[in-house]
Chain A
């Protein structure tokens, strides 16, 4: 089985990025990224395409140089090190498996390059292939493998080198949805067992929420928000984060008092004082309660426009003052189309966005 690396002095394998800038031509891809990643953490760089997440990963891997800023692993400055001298390995988006080598030789590639003795190499490759459950594919040629199998080969090929940090560039994006969920579970448990730092790049918010210890939401070359999945999901700081992770109802609002706002759908009590005089609020569809009466605070009258059965819940579209609000209710709710209801938006579930 895979031996976790013996514990080292605290912080030796922490990754520190500071002030990373990168531009291609006159296009600024990264505009000052700083982050500290603790040894053994599972961090996800999440964002839409073009946000710079892959470029950041490539800078950590050593495939691109940063224009400014530092990449430190503990006290080791990785900036001047070429890719093959960094204690970091990558799982590529298209797997980049050598098509002319067998699965065994693909997994053994890094160890062979480092001239590891044959008996040790064989033992390490086989135990890694058992861990990733591809031992029976050892003699297969890559062209005969399915997408999920190639994904595992790519993972084994990187992990067998026992890197200090494993970089994963959209590793599951080319895999069927059903298999993707299984692989997410495996990725998570693999990371827990190996205790290697994983940095995953993805544009799939479900994946990010499911596997990460910490999510960094990126936008236009900057980190928009970072925190635990719960934190980022429950307390988005901006409209971009609120809409990128899951679904959110966005309400434009005017500040009326320190904890009072007049929104497009009615007056609401706020959980905290906004910094703006005109801005936006967000609320998740599952945080809204459907009521028959408007007694509770922040209850607004509306009319059910559409209802869709989603198996484990109903999804309603409720018309509030002309704005359609998305609401998720229990499967036993029996609101009919055209019914007049009250929507309660508990102040604690309202998010005051910074923009």
Chain B
């Protein structure tokens, strides 16, 4: 049988040869994903259903004990502690993402409005802090939020906190630290979208009598939406797993899911439970990405004629 020939990029080739070439080209990426994502995930999955033996050893017998613990059923009956940690992590991650995205818009429009030669410099200044180690940056926040430092005076003077209270440690400090460390990841994709904005659409909307909100909705939002989706993903996923910031700025009462995992693999020496929480985090992240992808696409206003009919 003669194999069917195909033309690809000006070369005559056969289907079989093209498939082999495709496999060869995607091999490095697939190998990477297999070795560094799939295998560890499998290990985590197996480990999660084992249990902790004496002195932190792992007991290789199948058990659902870690699932129960994750949802709050401990030795002394049900407690909301773990669920509170999960809830706090989710609220903080969503809040951080929302604030980062909201702050990125004015920032992006401002930078995009500067002369071309200054824009890259300004954007570099936004990105530069993430070149420093996160731990060092977080220590800087610790220092800045100390009770004797100006931000704390200001907060006390305006009545934001009581006269005996301090800004750190606390959930506000964690929030601040998170937003400051995540902002560049939101700013970059949003800036890229804003800089490429086709302003003639904005002019067309103004020319056709649109008010500010309508102009934003029809001329700007559809153009920046893909960048915004990228910004949300890039901030939401790392925020969910963040533990350094909350560890240093949060104090004992502001534990997040990241700290919980770290604790199990560290001081608690309960690797199976840590694996279970870790797996839960990965699955939650994937799930929220999937949901967001569907729901995020629906944000684009559709043909309104169809809706009316």
Chain A contacts to B: CB under 8 angstroms? 61, 63, 82-84, 89-90, 92-94, 96-102, 104-105, 109-110, 113-114, 138-139, 141, 157-158, 161
Contact between chains at B303 and A92 (CB < 8 Å): no
Interface assignment of B64: CB less than 8 Å from any CB of chain A: no
A100, A113, A139: the one within 8 Å of B210 (CB): A113
Chain A residue numbers with a CB within 8 Å of B222 are 98-100
Contact between chains at A84 and B209 (CB < 8 Å): yes
CB distance from A254 to the nearest CB of B (A): 50
Q: Which segment of B106-114, B157-165, B186-194, B195-203 sits at the interface?
A: B195-203
B207, B210, B303: the one within 8 Å of A105 (CB): B303
A154 to chain B: closest residue by CB: B204
Bound CA–CA A93/B201 (angstroms):
11
CB distance from A142 to the nearest CB of B (A): 11
Contact between chains at B200 and A102 (CB < 8 Å): no
CB distance from B184 to the nearest CB of A (A): 29
CB distance from B198 to the nearest CB of A (A): 7
Interface assignment of B206: CB less than 8 Å from any CB of chain A: yes
Chain B residue numbers with a CB within 8 Å of A92 are 200, 203-204
Bound CA–CA A139/B303 (angstroms):
8
Contact between chains at A63 and B208 (CB < 8 Å): no
B211, B218, B305: the one within 8 Å of A100 (CB): B218
Chain B residues touching A, majority SS? helix
A110 to chain B: closest residue by CB: B208
Interface assignment of B26: CB less than 8 Å from any CB of chain A: no
A160 to chain B: closest residue by CB: B208
Q: Contact size class for B?
A: 20 to 34
With A98-B222, A114-B209 in contact, is A63–B203 under 8 Å at CB?
Answer: yes
Chain B residue numbers with a CB within 8 Å of A83 are 203, 206-207
Contact between chains at A82 and B206 (CB < 8 Å): yes
Contact between chains at B218 and A98 (CB < 8 Å): yes
Interface assignment of B302: CB less than 8 Å from any CB of chain A: yes
24 CB contacts below 8 A, A to B, read A63-B206, A83-B203, A83-B207, A84-B206, A90-B203, A94-B198, A96-B200, A96-B201, A96-B203, A98-B204, A99-B222, A100-B301, A100-B302, A101-B304, A102-B306, A104-B305, A109-B210, A109-B218, A110-B208, A113-B209, A113-B211, A138-B305, A158-B207, A161-B209
A167 to chain B: closest residue by CB: B207
CB distance from B196 to the nearest CB of A (A): 14
4 extra interchain contacts, Cβ-Cβ under 8 A, other than A110-B208, A158-B207? A82-B206, A102-B303, A113-B210, A139-B306
Bound CA–CA A92/B304 (angstroms):
23
Chain A residue numbers with a CB within 8 Å of B303 are 101-102, 105, 139, 141
Interface assignment of B214: CB less than 8 Å from any CB of chain A: yes
Contact between chains at A94 and B218 (CB < 8 Å): no
B208 to chain A: closest residue by CB: A110
Contact between chains at B305 and A102 (CB < 8 Å): yes
Chain A residue numbers with a CB within 8 Å of B207 are 61, 63, 83-84, 89-90, 110, 158
Bound CA–CA A100/B306 (angstroms):
13
CB distance from B305 to the nearest CB of A (A): 5
Q: How many A-B pairs with Cβ below 8 Å?
A: 77
Contact between chains at A109 and B208 (CB < 8 Å): yes
Chain B residue numbers with a CB within 8 Å of A141 are 303
Interface assignment of B300: CB less than 8 Å from any CB of chain A: yes
Bound CA–CA A161/B206 (angstroms):
13
Interface assignment of B219: CB less than 8 Å from any CB of chain A: yes
Bound CA–CA A63/B199 (angstroms):
11
Contact between chains at B305 and A90 (CB < 8 Å): no
Chain A residue numbers with a CB within 8 Å of B218 are 98, 100-101, 109
Bound CA–CA A164/B136 (angstroms):
64
Bound CA–CA A141/B302 (angstroms):
10
With A100-B302, A105-B304, A161-B208 in contact, is A113–B214 under 8 Å at CB?
Answer: yes
Near A by CB (< 8 A), chain B positions 198-253 give: 198, 200-201, 203-211, 214, 218-219, 222
Contact between chains at B219 and A98 (CB < 8 Å): yes
Chain A to chain B: the 9 pairs with minimum beta-carbon distance, closest first: A110-B208, A113-B209, A96-B204, A96-B200, A102-B303, A100-B222, A84-B209, A83-B206, A109-B208
Chain A residue numbers with a CB within 8 Å of B203 are 61, 63, 83, 90, 92, 96
With A90-B204, A98-B219, A99-B222 in contact, is A84–B210 under 8 Å at CB?
Answer: yes
Chain B residue numbers with a CB within 8 Å of A96 are 198, 200-201, 203-204
CB distance from A115 to the nearest CB of B (A): 9
Chain A residue numbers with a CB within 8 Å of B211 are 113
CB 8 Å contact bits of B284-309 with A (1 = contact, 0 = none): 00000000000000001111111000
CB distance from B153 to the nearest CB of A (A): 45
Bound CA–CA A94/B198 (angstroms):
10
A61 to chain B: closest residue by CB: B207
CB distance from B200 to the nearest CB of A (A): 4
Chain B residue numbers with a CB within 8 Å of A100 are 218, 222, 300-302
Bound CA–CA A157/B306 (angstroms):
19
Bound CA–CA A101/B300 (angstroms):
10
B225 to chain A: closest residue by CB: A100
Bound CA–CA A139/B305 (angstroms):
8
Bound CA–CA A138/B304 (angstroms):
12
Contact between chains at B201 and A98 (CB < 8 Å): yes
B221 to chain A: closest residue by CB: A100
CB distance from A168 to the nearest CB of B (A): 12
A118 to chain B: closest residue by CB: B308
Chain A residue numbers with a CB within 8 Å of B201 are 96, 98
Bound CA–CA A83/B211 (angstroms):
11
B206, B208, B210, B219: the one within 8 Å of A157 (CB): B208
B301 to chain A: closest residue by CB: A100
CB distance from B18 to the nearest CB of A (A): 30
CB distance from B225 to the nearest CB of A (A): 9
Bound CA–CA A277/B304 (angstroms):
69
Bound CA–CA A50/B206 (angstroms):
25
Which of A90, A100, A138 has the largest number of chain B CB atoms within 10 A?
A100
Which of B198, B207, B209, B218 has the largest number of chain A CB atoms within 10 A?
B207
